Amino acid sequence: MEHAIKLVHITCVVLSITGFCARGFLKFNKSNLLSRRWLRIAPHVVDALLLLSAGTLVFLLQLNLLQQPWLIAKIFALLCYIALGLVTLRFAKSQSAQIASFIAAILVFIYIASVAMTHQVMPWLAVNHT
């Protein structure tokens, strides 16, 4: 069960970042495709499944957030990623602001993925023992 939930979670992660990148490029190119209903709804469905699978994993693995600093870091980084995504896709008025927030969001995403893989708040310090 845990393996299946983790697979759903990782699949949603890939779909989420792929969708964000695609919508970012559409935004930069001022594409009318962004107004398509499915492109406005699909990200919410994917992100809801992503959060549901994350919560399910926390429950199944009996993780205590207060004892897992890496999970707290991941949650705060996720909030930053969401905020930067909103700036990129909705609030930034200039294309340079859109691009800057898009790049920042991608960097935060990389941090989140690194934290998830290493279970370290500072994954760049993680030692690989393989």
Side chain identity at 18, as an amino acid letter?
Answer: T
Dihedrals phi, psi of 111, to nearest 5 degrees:
-60, -45
What does the pLDDT profile of the chain (130 residues) look like in tens digits? 899 999 999 999 999 999 999 999 999 999 999 999 999 899 999 999 999 999 999 999 999 988 999 999 999 999 999 999 999 999 999 999 999 999 999 999 999 999 999 999 999 987 665 5
In order of 23, 39, 48, the CA distances from 35 in angstroms are 10, 7, 21
Nearest Cα neighbor of 65 from 74, 102, 85 is 74
Q: Which pTM does this prediction carry? A: 0.90
Which of 34, 9, 7, 10 shows the shortest CA–CA distance to 22?
A: 34
Q: In the prediction, which pLDDT does 127 show?
A: 67
Contacts 24+ apart (CB under 8 A), 70-75: 70/115, 70/118, 70/119, 70/120, 70/121, 73/115, 73/121, 74/112, 74/115, 74/116
Tokens 């919410």 appear where? 44
Q: Which position has the token pair 């992503």?
A: 50
CA distances from 60 to 1, 7, 106 (A): 9, 14, 29
